[in-house]
Structure 1
């Protein structure tokens, strides 16, 4: 939902998070500085490709001309970001997906027209760079017929919300109970898997988590 990503909404989310304790957030100026730094290093004549691997699959929020199935090498999809806002809260903390180092990842590449790069990356940065938990990266994105240069957001391993190691059992527990103003982690997982399935992408990691969550629900039903 595009209307969710504006300065007033971002400030509201940050204020809400800080009411419950310390929360690191970038200022609008800091966030814009990282965006302008990224944009200063790319050629805008042919537009900008953006690689999506989680909620961008079904809710990109920014305007794009076309999307294509895509693969990114060197990074893998993993629940490694603690969520205390959005799809988590202090009472019901959750986890979010991020791109962590190693392996490869299938997703979607969205093309932003040259004349829309300024406005649409502003939306993207308000969506992805509230706290600095991600780093904007120049990457090589493999499309069905060629490789293109583009943008994606990978985990900032020095960020306090980064989780280096977490068991499958703890991952499932947090996803089963995590919930915030933007919805539940359970819905986030199921939406991601459903849209990957539509693309005929079988993510063994996500399917294993989904199966273990079903087993957890079954045990709860018969308890």
Structure 2
């Protein structure tokens, strides 16, 4: 980077051309090659890569030697990331649904798909029509010997506003089987991170589009959930989820390239105000490294949207 800056300065390029030259040489490919951060093009097939879902009916347990099932086992129902990211031991899993709820992206995420200063959005359940509304997901059977450790793990994983409750789970496709009593985690409207329907779907989509956290980009959470629903429950309709997917894909296709370019040019111009060439080179390298890390694109998008809102 330092050598390039010296060469660029020596070429006599006008000062106002330097940010564009540096952007073209080192940063333009960030827009063109979004792999690895959940930042795919609008027409990308988000159902690719779900080995867990492709083997759902043939691999009931994620343990080589699962404990024997007993009457003391418990079932956990997942309707969000637990559908496709079960990071705990289970001895059986079933596809199905619960009656009387609606799944909504009404919960802020400050510890998984966002950070406190830039919260993401994740799902919770709202009361619905007991005879009409269904939420589809996956129930996992937890062996009695592993129950305490798994519930402690999930209590920590869902610590940002979620509480346990118990209800009946019905298998899919419906085959007349008796319902299963399950535990699930719901973020109530009383918790500090509850966001509700503030801003409605287009603005929720904008928040997802520009957010990332320790667990990765918020859009990855949205797209993985949509892919899981498509594969596990063909024909089931979740209008809220589908509308959000369409809005976020539209943001990626129509807005993302321009927002990232604007943010990068602004960052580069600010760095070039440093007096020492070596300091400029170091800060540009730091910027490049940050942009290539998971969440780097969302950070740039957020900064561009902030500048746009302030102008």
The bucket for the TM-score relative to the shorter chain is 0.7 to 0.9
TM-score (norm: length of structure 2): 0.54
Could you report, residue by residue, the CA deviation over 1:11-35 in whole angstroms, capped at 9, with x for unpaired residues? xxxxxxxxxxxxxxxxxxxxxxxxx
Aligned counterpart for 1:193 among listed residues 211, 219, 226: 226
Structure 2: runs of 5 or more not aligned = 1-69, 259-311
Q: CA deviation at 1:164?
A: 2.6
- Partners of 1:111 and 1:120 lie apart in 2 by 11
Q: Secondary structure at the match of 1:76?
A: strand
Q: 1:119 to 1:221 in 2, by over 3 A?
A: closer
Deviations 1:36-75 (A, max 9, x none): xxxxxxxx83411111111101111111111111111122
Asked if the contact 1:140–1:147 (Cα under 8 Å) also holds between the matched residues in 2, the reply is yes
Q: CA deviation at 1:107?
A: 0.6
Q: How does 1:1-223 map to 2 (within 5 A)?
A: 45-102=71-128, 103-128=133-158, 130-131=159-160, 133-144=161-172, 145-166=177-198, 167-199=200-232, 200=234, 201-220=236-255
Larger fraction in strand: 1
1:221 Cα deviation after fit: 5.9
Q: CA RMSD in A?
A: 1.8
Structure 1 residue runs of 4+, over 4 Å off? none
Q: TM-score, normalised by structure 1?
A: 0.74
Larger radius of gyration: 2
In the TM superposition, what whole-angstrom CA distance separates every residue of 1:89-113 from its partner, at most 9, and x where no partner exists? 2443211111222232011111112
Which residue is 1:10 aligned to?
Answer: none
How far apart in 2 are the matches of 1:172 and 1:84? 16
Provide the aligned length of Structure 1 versus Structure 2: 178
Partners of 1:122 and 1:72 lie apart in 2 by: 23
C-alpha distance after superposition, 1:109-157 (max 9, x if no partner): 11112222112111111111x23x1120011111243201110011221
Q: Structure 1 residues 64-73 or 90-99, which shifts more?
A: 90-99
Moved more, 98-107 or 183-192: 98-107
